[in-house]
Homo-oligomer: A and B are copies of this chain.
Amino acid sequence: MLDTLFAPKSVAVVGASEIPFKWGTYISSNILDGKFKGKYYPVNPNIPEVFGFKTYPSIRDLPEAVDLVFITTPAKTVMQILQDCIAKGIKNIVMITSGFSETGDEGTQMEKEIVSLAKHHDLNIVGPNTMGIVNTHCLLYATGAITRPKPGGISIIAQSGNLGYQIMEWAESEDIGIAKFVGSGNEAVLKIEDYLKYFNTDSQTKVILMYVEGVDDGRLFVDIAKETSLHKPIIALKAGRTEIGSKAAASHTGAMAGSFSIFKGVIQQTGIVLADSPRELLTLSAAFDSFPLPKGNRIGIITLGGGWGVVTADECAERGLVIPQLPQSIKDELDKRLPPFWSRGNPVDLVGQPDFQLFKDAVELMVAHEDFDAVIVLGIVGSKVFAYRAAEAVYNLGKMEKSVFDDFKKLLFIHQKEFLDRLIELMNRYKKPILPVSLSKMPGDETVHSDGGNYKVVIYDSPEEAVLCLSKMYQYYNYVDKRSRVYV
Q: Is the CB of A307 within 8 A of B400?
A: no
Stretch at the interface among A17-25, A78-86, A110-118: A17-25
Interface size class of A (residues with CB under 8 A): 35 or more
A146 with B390: in contact, given A310-B240, A314-B242, A397-B33 (CB under 8 Å)? yes
**Which of A163-194 touch B at CB < 8 Å?**
163-164, 166, 169-170, 173
Flag whether A26 is at the interface (Cβ < 8 A).
Answer: yes
Tell me which of A162, A213, A239 has the highest count of chain B C-beta atoms within 10 A of its own C-beta. A162
A387 CA / B25 CA spacing, docked (Å): 12
A397 with B18: in contact, given A242-B317, A313-B244 (CB under 8 Å)? yes
A147 proximity list for chain B (CB < 8 A):
389
With beta carbons under 8 angstroms apart, the residue of B20, B51, B277, B308 that contacts A390 is B20
Q: Is the CB of A244 within 8 A of B323?
A: yes
- State the oligomeric state as a number of copies: 2
Q: Is the CB of B315 within 8 A of A277?
A: yes
Q: Is the CB of A308 within 8 A of B51?
A: no
A460 CA / B239 CA spacing, docked (Å): 20
Stretch at the interface among A342-350, A365-373, A427-435, A471-479: A342-350
Q: Is the CB of B311 within 8 A of A341?
A: no
Closest B residue by C-beta to A241: B314
CB distance from A387 to the nearest CB of B (A): 8
A241 CA / B386 CA spacing, docked (Å): 29
**Which of A48-83 touch B at CB < 8 Å?**
51-52
Does more than half of chain A's interface fall in helix, strand or loop, or is it mixed? helix
A239 proximity list for chain B (CB < 8 A):
307, 310-311, 314
Q: Is the CB of B345 within 8 A of A310?
A: no
A211 CA / B305 CA spacing, docked (Å): 14
Q: Is the CB of B169 within 8 A of A440?
A: yes
A463 proximity list for chain B (CB < 8 A):
277
Q: Is the CB of A245 within 8 A of B314?
A: yes
A21 CA / B393 CA spacing, docked (Å): 11
CB distance from A169 to the nearest CB of B (A): 6
A394 with B249: in contact, given A307-B160, A317-B243, A379-B162 (CB under 8 Å)? no
A51 proximity list for chain B (CB < 8 A):
397-399
A310 with B213: in contact, given A29-B393, A244-B316 (CB under 8 Å)? yes
Q: Is the CB of A311 within 8 A of B245?
A: yes
A439 proximity list for chain B (CB < 8 A):
166, 169-170
**Which of A309-343 touch B at CB < 8 Å?**
309-311, 313-318, 323, 340-341, 343
A317 CA / B239 CA spacing, docked (Å): 12
A33 CA / B21 CA spacing, docked (Å): 49
Closest B residue by C-beta to A304: B162
9 smallest CB-CB distances across A and B, nearest first, come from A160-B307, A162-B305, A252-B306, A245-B314, A242-B317, A163-B307, A103-B341, A29-B393, A146-B389
**14 pairs of residues in contact across A and B, judged by CB atoms under 8 Å:** A29-B396, A103-B340, A103-B341, A145-B386, A147-B389, A160-B308, A162-B304, A162-B305, A163-B307, A245-B311, A245-B313, A248-B323, A251-B343, A252-B343
